[in-house]
Structure 1
Amino acid sequence: MADLFGAGEPDKAPPGRPLADRLRPASLAEVFGQEHLTGEDGALTRMIRSGSLGSMIFWGPPGTGKTTVARLLAGETGLAFEQISAIFSGVADLKKVFETARLRRSNGRQTLLFVDEIHRFNRAQQDSFLPVMEDGTVILVGATTENPSFELNAALLSRARVLIFKSLDEDSIAKLLLRAEEAEGRKLPLDAEARAMLMRMADGDGRASLTLAEEIWRAAKPDEIFDPEGLQRVVQRRAPIYDKGQDGHYNLISALHKSVRGSDPDAALYYLSRMFDAGEDPLYIGRRLVRMAVEDIGLADPQALTIANAAKDAYDYLGSPEGELAFAQATVYLATAPKSNAVYTAFKEAMRAAKENGSLLPPRHILNAPTKLMKDEDYGKGYEYDHDTPEAFSGQDYFPEKMGRQIFYEPPDRGFEREIRKRLDYWSKLRSERQARGKK
């Protein structure tokens, strides 16, 4: 089935074919939503004009036109079109395709090989494309919904240009629906609000918008017009585009984390809701909220970690959907809490110092001396018990002598860390005074 649809004349083929297939564009100029590639000055248009087509990787979400555009490219450049899917193909299938392409090339015609879901091939299988790309046997067009930088071999990427396909905007979806109505000879039985909701439900996927339109026509009674509530009842809502192991998952958790860090509770609640709506594991969300509490808030609000952990416990106790409110409460608390990464930064610096300075012995005065030999070696000698000193602060040095005193933790002057800052400054003053007295 095609995955992008345009303004081409509706196909008068036998009934039973999906609407999406019948509305497939007949040329690149008829493709909706990818004008940066197929428009007058688009990247693909320029390639065709130059008469030189190179290997490419089409990266974008489902239903944005990757398969359709690959077919049209082959048609407009006179290349033979071959299509395989990484889901259903193995080494034997690849060898067969390559042999056919070599035979075709010996007869003077090049092959455009379209590989759907190319990221699903393992690295060895991806490497098998390199020789036939280099000697011109095939022009490879791979399609992927995943980030090519993470999923494809560097060698393959170095020989192919990555072109990004965008989700269709509402204007493009609206044009598709108008074409569908023209093809069907009837209007969609939706009021204005329901029509707008249908475009949002499509989630930027052209094929999905036409599939939903077909569902509506099948469900509608004569003269029935659906409002938003009726639309939701009929189509039962299409699941959002979201793969818990891939880009959609990481994009949303990144958006949630950065919204919390940016002290925007409304945006944070929106992305939290998006993740729940997509079926994300609630305990994964809970773990990430705990991470936000320690990374971005820290001691600016010591309660943040307690709140985040309590939300996880509440979810464990209540389950869904009641427990989701606890995560919402924690998200708002974290977003509105004062922010500090001082502990996070200090810990990284301390880890760096620990690795760089090796196994230095702590100063002897803070080492325990449980044996006579250790006492003879001055372990524990000169240690001052802080509780026995004025203000319970001895001001002694606790770093290894070869390393010298270091400062890793620099609390900002906000939230609870404002008080910590005052305390540290006061102790620093006492330390300097006592060390100065000790030198006299």
Structure 2
Amino acid sequence: MSIKMKFELLPNEIFVECFQYLNAPDIFNSFDRLNYHFHTLIRNSPLHLNFQQFKKSLFNEFCQTILTNPEIKQNIISLQLSNESTCGQIQSFLSLISLNEFIHLRSLSLIDINDENDEQLLSMLSLLSNLDCFSCTCSEYKTLKIISVLTKSKIRMLTVPQFNFNSTSVYKTMSITSLTISNCDLSDLCQLFKYTPMLKYLKCEHFYNSQITDDELNFTNTNIVYLQKLIIDSSSAKFQVLELLLKRISNLKIFSIFAPNVLELIDANRWQHLIESSLPYLHTFNFNFGYYAHHSYNEKLIKFQQFQTDFWHKQHHWYTNYEIEGFTALIYTLPYVWNEYTLTSTMNRYNDSLISYSNEFDNVKNLFLCTKAIKNNSPCFFRNIQSLILIN
């Protein structure tokens, strides 16, 4: 006797869990007309609504679905709107539905906010008392205005282009634990840490070098005790600047940095001294350092081999590969954690002999591939590529 399992007989909890990985319009298109059970279930489940890169016709269609089914509003817990490559999507949405109608909204992302409907948007944001996560891209002036009206919310996770620290009263009332900021330098962070004492996670997309001032030297008297994870997507800062910063984050556990052209960062002994003296809890150190210089081939090898001593291998289990191509050289930790990689035919790769990573490039999504580097016995394997660009 065979038993046939019917899809609709699965527990509601399984469907609700699956819905957390799907966009609300896709859920309604797939389940709304199946039967009464699913018709009711999707109207009583938490929903994530992402309109980024949405066709205008589909956007209008689902907005109409919300208007004709007002109960949907109370189930939307995250909302993403974008003016990028759209005809004023944010303004179109707000003209139909007020943000404060989403009474259970926890996460809001507004991409490429323009100057239209300023007051309307700000008045709506001020009523989102349950908001936990907020992200926006807009001008610095507009960012400050938006954050100032969110001080009554319970925001813990914040993503903004940059801060204007001329108005510090904004930050005294916000207990941010996770922050992503597009552009900053050490001076910005010195101010930031004063008003975000509970910060646990910080991501800087562009961290710039700066002249060290008296305020930054006084920063050495500050301890950022809760910060445990620091990610710097791109850095041009000198070692002394990073040293001043890291010495104040003594409880740091995870540190990732990409610095494509700062020669002095390729100094294993200096990093070892900093880690041993100031970062006792650091267990994950991901770095990608590169430089362009007329050093001899052997000089480059000597600098890189300093990262393969017992301190790096036995004490911390941090392993590196390095690559040399003409005057360009780079060294990175394993596995490779960045999502972009360039593979050329003239590159000399040196793999750490103590470890073999079959998944070395599993994080790479965007590959720039020299056509002459295409061969059957390539030691590099990219299994998760989403974008491939061939170069000569």
Q: Which has the higher contact order (CA 8 A, sep 6+)?
A: 1
- TM bracket (short chain): under 0.3
Instruction: Decide which structure has the larger Cα Rg and report it.
Output: 1
More helix by share: 1
Question: Could you tell me the TM-score, scaled by structure 1's length?
Answer: 0.24
